[in-house]
């Protein structure tokens, strides 16, 4: 599809987690752009009432992303209703706070079920339709933490976001002949419910107060609030998707950009410092070599 056609064509969006946060903002931004929207949520009834004014431009559907059968049913219903899916947005996700040492295993698994397996189920369900169309854009919501990692207390969430990125890179390679594009969105802090009622903070042992406790206080109890505007972010995503080309990753927010650039510079510096050691593991390379001088 040409850039001009993509920009002017009325597109069909399928959005998970549409009841609030980024999902709700994207529903509004896509509708404002003149597009059609399949808005999904675990409990879609309140959402359907909110969006009733848009009439047949919106289809609201129930969807628990952790249920692969439900994902297939929702995708099939969307295609049956609108004839196609042009943009699939995997947005549904949440994080709870706890140190790895004392985290409840069932809670860690439940988070991963939504944050990774939900993306897997919905994407897999949509692939046959996107492949038949020979087009489509898949927007995977990650986090800047899914690039740089290291945020104490949310190991399950960040591990899932790293997994989403790896999964999407493989998908992009496997489906390259089918005209399917992939965009991994990596926000920093935004004024959504992510750190509000959607997040449960489990008790933090005293030994972890300086790390997990400090993160919890900064994210959930900071007075300044998050810097990012979800409406602006949604508008940026809609405009980006309508381009003839999309970046593989889209950082959103000042902190996201700052953290990513700093992380990349440190990665390059470390790889360079250890380059000769790393190369020496191959049979054909000189061995042994001196380890880098400790800094």
Per-residue pLDDT of 172-192, as tens digits, reads 999 999 999 999 999 998 988
Task: Count the domains in the chain.
Answer: 1
Residue 5 has a pLDDT of 54
Instruction: Confirm whether 111 is domain-assigned.
Output: yes
The domain of 228 spans 3-252
Instruction: Confirm whether 242 is domain-assigned.
Output: yes
Instruction: Confirm whether 262 is domain-assigned.
Output: no
Q: What percent of the chain has pLDDT over 70?
A: 93
Instruction: Confirm whether 261 is domain-assigned.
Output: no
Q: Is the pLDDT of residue 3 over 90?
A: no
Instruction: Confirm whether 283 is domain-assigned.
Output: no
Per-residue pLDDT of 36-86, as tens digits, reads 999 999 999 999 999 999 999 999 999 999 999 999 999 999 999 999 999
Residue 225 has a pLDDT of 60
CATH of the domain at 120: 3.40.50.720
Instruction: Confirm whether 274 is domain-assigned.
Output: no
CA gap 142, 160 in Å, rounded: 9
Which residue in 58, 51, 123, 55 sits closest to 92, CA to CA?
Answer: 123
Q: Is the pLDDT of residue 195 over 80?
A: no
Instruction: Confirm whether 270 is domain-assigned.
Output: no
Instruction: Confirm whether 263 is domain-assigned.
Output: no
Residues serving a catalytic function are: 142, 157, 161
- What lies within 8 Å, CB to CB, of 21 at 6+ separation is 91, 190, 192, 193, 194, 198, 230
């Amino acid at each position: 599809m040409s850039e001009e056609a993509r920009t002017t064509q009325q597109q069909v969006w399928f959005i998970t987690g549409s009841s609030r946060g980024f999902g709700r903002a994207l529903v509004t931004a896509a509708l404002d752009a003149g597009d059609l929207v399949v808005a999904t949520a675990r409990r879609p009834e309140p959402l359907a009432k909110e969006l009733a004014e848009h009439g047949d431009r919106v289809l609201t559907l129930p969807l628990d992303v952790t249920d692969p059968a439900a994902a297939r049913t929702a995708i099939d219903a969307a295609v049956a209703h609108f004839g196609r899916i042009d943009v699939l947005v995997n947005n549904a996700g949440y994080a709870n706070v706890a140190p790895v040492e004392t985290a409840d295993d069932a809670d860690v698994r439940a988070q991963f079920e939504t944050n990774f397996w939900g993306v897997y189920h919905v994407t897999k369900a949509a692939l046959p339709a996107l492949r038949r169309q020979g087009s489509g854009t898949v927007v995977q919501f990650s986090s800047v933490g899914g690039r740089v990692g290291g945020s104490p207390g949310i190991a399950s969430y960040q591990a899932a976001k790293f997994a989403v990125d790896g999964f999407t890179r493989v998908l992009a390679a496997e489906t390259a002949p089918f005209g399917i594009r992939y965009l991994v969105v990596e926000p920093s802090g935004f004024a959504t419910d992510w750190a509000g009622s959607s997040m449960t903070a489990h008790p933090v042992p005293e030994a972890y107060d300086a790390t997990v406790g400090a993160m919890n206080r900064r994210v959930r109890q900071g007075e300044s609030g998050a810097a990012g505007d979800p409406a602006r972010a949604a508008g940026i995503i809609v405009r980006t998707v309508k381009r003839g080309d999309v970046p593989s990753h889209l950082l959103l927010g000042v902190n996201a950009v700052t953290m990513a650039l700093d992380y990349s510079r440190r990665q390059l510096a470390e790889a360079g410092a250890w380059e000769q050691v790393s190369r020496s593991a191959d049979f054909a390379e000189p061995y042994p070599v001196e380890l880098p001088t400790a800094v």
